[in-house]
Amino acid sequence: MNALVPLAVAIPIVAGAAVAATTTFHWRRPVEVVATTVAVCVTALAAALVVQSSGGWIVYWFANWRPHHNVALGIDFAVDPFGAGIAALAAFLVALSFVYGWHYFDELGQTLFHALTLIFLAAMVGFALTGDLFNLFVFFELATVPAIVLTGYMNEERGPLQGEMNFAVTNTLGAFLVLTGIGLLYARTGALNLAQIGEALAGKGTDGLVVTAFALLVAGFFVKAAVVPFHFWLADAYAVAPAPVCVLFSGIMSELGLYAVARVYWTSFSGAFGAHEEALRAVFLGAGVVTALVGAVMALQQRNLKRLLAFATIAHIGLFLMGIGLLDAKALAGAGVWVVGDGLVRGALFMCVGILVQRFGDVDDVDLRGLGRAVPFTGVLFVLGALALATLPPFGSFVGKALVEGAALDKGYTWVPAVILVVSALVGGAVLRAAGVVFLGLGAPVQEAGSRDEAEPEDEAGEPIGVERGRVPRFMLVSPALLLACALALGLLPDLSSWAFHAAQRFEDRAAYAAAVLHDTRPPSATLQHVGATWSDVLLSLGAVAGAFAVAATDLFRERVPAIFRSRAQRLRQVALGAATASHSGHVGDYVTWLTFGAAAFGAAFAFALS
Amino acid sequence: MSFLPYAVVVWLFVVGLYGIVTSHNFVHLTVCLTVVQSSTYVLLLAVGYRDDATAPVFTALSTAHKAVDPVVHALTFIDVIVEAVVAALLLAIAVQVHKRFGTLDPDECHPMRG
Amino acid sequence: MSSRTRVVVFGVAASGFAALLLWGFVGLPDFGHYRGPYGLILNKTVVSARHVTNVPTAVNFDYRAIDTLGEEFILLSGAVGLALTLRSRREREERPPETPDRGLEHTSEALRIAGLALVGPLLVLGFYILAHGHLSPGGGFQGGVILASALLLACLAGEFATLRRGRPWLVMEAAGGLGAAGYAFLGLAGLLGASAYFADLVPLGPMGKITSGGTIPIANAPVALEVTAAFLIVWSELLDQALLVRRRR
């Protein structure tokens, strides 16, 4: 069997344990070097797996327990280009966050940061590669526990504690939802292996148990992915985690929740739910649109740069969910490419914000107004990032978006490209506006009732205490620049769309997956069908970019607008958005209420759609 | 009567959630979270139970003897350890919250809004 | 949301959620009628395939060993994370003082004697349980917890100051990391020596003896090491907090 598969998990996990064992020695430099090397190795391993799996699944049975008459006795990893690609993205982001975070924390903090992040990386890789449902849950928890610690890392200010607590409670409840779903499926099928579950459920009717299990699994993973109404914890947590950690959270952790939903649906439930695709599509698209709009609208309200990017992440998760929810190979391919391209960009943006915090000790764009002129290169990267978020061609995000739009139009959902345009414009505009304020000193210093809260600036910065402010090491700029360059390079890869489409078709082929996992059958090779962006996609993207500039301009040059219009717009905004803003109260009880509500709502929606 | 374990599962889950939502103390909240988790233990173990069967340990029995499902035992085992860890972490965060906010009441501990 | 609104919204949501769960549970097979193939096949085959009589242990350390690997590391990162969270900046620089603490000075003689007397038997029990996990209920985790509680008993008996004087953080953190790494290495050994990660390396011994089970009993050792260390880290950090509070008063 292919030894690269277990090594992709074993290497970072052993390294993490070794670093954790030696933290008391405070070996900062050696640990940084070792950890970065390990992350680079895992990136290479995962990239190799992407290439090797393009011809068919690489199935690895742990402890050599192969299936016994179609019953899986052990746990398998079933690697395909999507899973390996997600793993490669995770490892790459970890490696670059290590470079970015060189000497970021003090001695104790630095070594433990590396230990926890390496374990986190191992969990993400395992999550992406596994073919067993309970194993998915274990890696879900293994990713959550270090993430909880990393959120409030080395910081006892009030904001980070709130973020940490809300993250811990909501994500743990999400895990319990998943576990309950697993219990139900196990009772029905007697199996924990995704392929075997799929075989057991295929062709049999959908009854209450199967629908409920699906609803619980989806709801639990949606908590991780921060789909509305499970998203409240994300803004709190991402706003306070240190910048190197935010890069990982935004770039890869949220997307893993969506990946899990796609994986579980296509391998286990697609056989049972095939006849109800139209209705299911409606539920997923609805959830995606709501999430995207809530994220976009809330992003525009934010003055805290990290919280702004957190809501931008939520908005994009909504867009990705729309892509996945179309339940179509082309859309799935697009969503996959978009996730990678966009993850790189959001990672770069968080790094830029981290640079601002490092230099000026604040994360509020009003406080930072004009100060960004001292760091012009960061400003350039920030603006490029904003444009890439708005899917400017030829960034990778454009390629992904084009495929999703194409698939939506093929299926007759003509409103999807419009939603994508509006959301991309709003989010890009929010980031551009922040760039304008911070780097160009634009915008009037208005005292308005925005998202200002009682917390002090240090709280909101969420950066570790005792870190030197003022000097920005040169290598801190390398990482975001490299991330943006890779996002651009991704978009320039020839035949990426066709290749992703081919991988997506495999991903959706439940029968071939089951045959590969349970019977070791190689799928028939297929020729690459050509798909790609069209001119209308380019026009839509340029429209989104123009929209982003317009959105930013309306906010920045507000004083040019006559006073009557300004106050009317203000009142309108407060009325329309007051409820949305108020619901993001920071109170854990509220979040759990919405979580319960969301679980019940998705349950009802799926019950309706699948009966 | 045979539905009772499953009814207990639903009850534990919902009551635990209620405790979390109405909690005025983070330590109480953590314990309510463990109540929710207990519901998952009950579900897993109930699913694997077999009438007139014994534990899946064959030290003094032959394998022909009827035994309950060992897999759910292994799963619950992992589940228990995971929750012990998460509860411990939440308690540590609660200690820090008390240090910084002076109170353990969630109603007074949410500075970030909007 | 105000308290009242929250309860009302939750009430509605919870009713819907409970209805969903009940609707799903109705489709479950009757309690006591587990039918699925996975458990039944394991019950029939594990004993002869692995020479192990405790089937859940075999499942945890062999068939589903990678789950246990994940769980080991959840324990490690949780313990390490808790230690980090509780040691504030100031406290990290200064280790707690060497002087005996007011809080624990007044343990009664009965508690001291009983506690210290039980430490020995508990340690023996812990090692027995961890060594025989593949034969009867027990194993690395259970044994590790018992071992950790033996040391906790020593703390309760008033020897906390003595124990802390030995600068245990280094040892505990090293032990935790080593245990976790050790278990992962066992998997690697399977990869290099045999055919797959966590595959069996050691020959299966005779049934019912402590040497049976191949790699399974060997896996108990690093697991127990890690569990003991992790629980000790958790308990000692929380105890430190309690003492800190008392000292401040």
Angle separating helix axes A254-264 and A305-325, nearest 10 degrees: 10
CA-only gyration radius of chain C, Å: 23
> Chain B residues with CB inside 8 Å of A587's CB?
106-107, 110
Distance (Å, whole) CA A161 – CA B109: 9
Which residue among C13, C77, C170 sits closest to A149, beta carbon to beta carbon? C77
Chain C, 37 to 76: residues with Cβ < 8 Å from chain A are 37-39, 41-42, 45, 62-67, 69-71, 73-74, 76
Task: Average the pLDDT over C211-235 and give the result.
Answer: 83
Distance (Å, whole) CA B7 – CA C23: 11
**Ranges assigned E (strand) in A188-346:** none
**Distance from A135 to chain C by nearest Cα, in Å?**
6
Contact C28 B50 (CB under 8 A): no
Looking at residue A110, its pLDDT comes to 78
Looking at residue B52, its pLDDT comes to 86
- Whether C38 has a pLDDT exceeding 70, the answer reads yes
Distance (Å, whole) CA A557 – CA B50: 72
List beta partners, residue C33. B50
User: In which band, very low, low, confident or very high, does the pLDDT at B89 lie, cut at 50, 70 and 90?
Assistant: very high
Which residue among A145, A157, A162 sits closest to B89, beta carbon to beta carbon? A145
- Check CB contact of C31 with chain A, cutoff 8 Å: no
Q: For A331-363, how does the pLDDT look when each residue is reduced to its tens digit (9 = 90+)?
A: 999 999 999 999 999 999 999 998 888 888 777
| Residue from A344, A349, A315, A382 nearest A488 by CA | A344
Give the three-class secondary structure for A455: coil
The first and second tokens of residue A350, run together, are 């968080």
- Check CB contact of A403 with chain B, cutoff 8 Å: no
Contact C29 A216 (CB under 8 A): no
Rounded to a whole number of angstroms, the distance between the first and last alpha carbons of chain C is 37
Chain C, 114 to 173: residues with Cβ < 8 Å from chain A are 169-170, 173
Looking at residue A342, its pLDDT comes to 94
Q: How far does Cα A473 stand from its chain's mean position?
A: 28
Contact B56 C238 (CB under 8 A): no
Distance (Å, whole) CA A248 – CA A350: 10
- Whether C164 has a pLDDT exceeding 70, the answer reads no
DSSP string, C13-58: HHHHHHHHHHHHHTTSPPTTB---HHHHHHHHHHHHHH--SBHHHH
Give the three-class secondary structure for B67: strand
CB A259 within 8 A of CB A589: no
| Residue from A50, A52, A62, A56 nearest A92 by CA | A50
- For the ranges A370-374, C33-37, C66-70, C241-245, the one whose mean pLDDT is highest: C66-70
Kindly report the number of other CB atoms within 10 A of residue C113's CB atom: 11
**Is A528 buried (19+), middle (13-18) or exposed (0-12) by CB count in 10 A?**
exposed
Burial code of C188-199, b = ≥16 C-beta within 10 A, e = fewer? bbbbeebebbbb
Residues written for chain A: 611
Contact A189 C176 (CB under 8 A): no
User: In which band, very low, low, confident or very high, does the pLDDT at C245 lie, cut at 50, 70 and 90?
Assistant: low
Looking at residue A81, its pLDDT comes to 93
CB A334 within 8 A of CB A404: yes
| Residue from A169, A148, A153 nearest A223 by CA | A169
Q: How far does Cα A575 stand from its chain's mean position?
A: 31
List beta partners, residue B57. C54
* Run of H or E residues at B79: helix B70-101
Question: A385: Cβ–Cβ under 8 A, 6 or more apart, which residues?
Answer: A345, A346, A348, A349, A352, A431, A480, A484
Distance (Å, whole) CA C140 – CA C210: 14
The first and second tokens of residue C226, run together, are 């890690």
Task: Average the pLDDT over B43-59 and give the result.
Answer: 89
Question: A440: Cβ–Cβ under 8 A, 6 or more apart, which residues?
Answer: A370, A372, A373, A379
CA angle at C54 for the pair C50 and C60, rounded to the nearest 5°: 75
**Distance from B57 to chain C by nearest Cα, in Å?**
4
Distance (Å, whole) CA C245 – CA A71: 55
> Chain A residues with CB inside 8 Å of B36's CB?
173, 176
Distances (CA, A) of A246 to A97, A101, A252, A352: 9, 12, 10, 11
- For the ranges A181-185, A580-584, B78-82, C91-95, the one whose mean pLDDT is highest: A181-185
The first and second tokens of residue A399, run together, are 């390629």
* Run of H or E residues at C152: helix C140-154
- Whether C193 has a pLDDT exceeding 50, the answer reads yes
C-contacting chains (≥3 CB pairs under 8 Å) = A, B
Contact C234 B93 (CB under 8 A): no
Q: For A47-85, how does the pLDDT look when each residue is reduced to its tens digit (9 = 90+)?
A: 999 999 988 899 999 888 888 888 888 899 999 999 999
- Whether B72 has a pLDDT exceeding 50, the answer reads yes
- Check CB contact of A163 with chain B, cutoff 8 Å: yes
User: In which band, very low, low, confident or very high, does the pLDDT at C169 lie, cut at 50, 70 and 90?
Assistant: low
Distance (Å, whole) CA A422 – CA A419: 5
- Check CB contact of B17 with chain A, cutoff 8 Å: yes
Distance (Å, whole) CA A579 – CA A598: 17
Contact A593 C10 (CB under 8 A): yes
Residue type, A95: A
Distances (CA, A) of C149 to C73, C126, C153, C235, C241: 21, 9, 6, 9, 19
Q: How far does Cα A322 stand from its chain's mean position?
A: 14
- Check CB contact of A581 with chain B, cutoff 8 Å: yes
φ/ψ of A509, rounded to 5, equals -90, 95
- Whether B86 has a pLDDT exceeding 70, the answer reads yes
List beta partners, residue A59. A78
Mean pLDDT of chain B: 89
Residue tagged 């340029």 (tokens): A542
To the nearest 10°, report the CA torsion of C229, C235, C237, C239: -150
* Run of H or E residues at A166: helix A158-189
Angle separating helix axes A329-360 and A475-492, nearest 10 degrees: 160
Which residue among C17, C21, C30 sits closest to B2, beta carbon to beta carbon? C30
Chain C, 63 to 122: residues with Cβ < 8 Å from chain B are 64, 67-68, 71, 74-75, 78-79, 81-82, 85-86, 88
Kindly report the number of other CB atoms within 10 A of residue A241's CB atom: 29
CB A435 within 8 A of CB A383: yes
CB A546 within 8 A of CB A194: no
What average pLDDT values come out for chain A (611 residues) when binned by 10 residues?
Answer: 87 90 80 93 95 89 86 91 94 93 75 92 95 95 93 80 91 96 93 93 88 96 94 90 91 93 94 89 94 92 90 95 93 94 94 87 77 84 92 89 92 91 93 88 60 43 53 80 92 88 90 89 81 84 88 77 71 73 84 94 93 82
The first and second tokens of residue C16, run together, are 């819907």
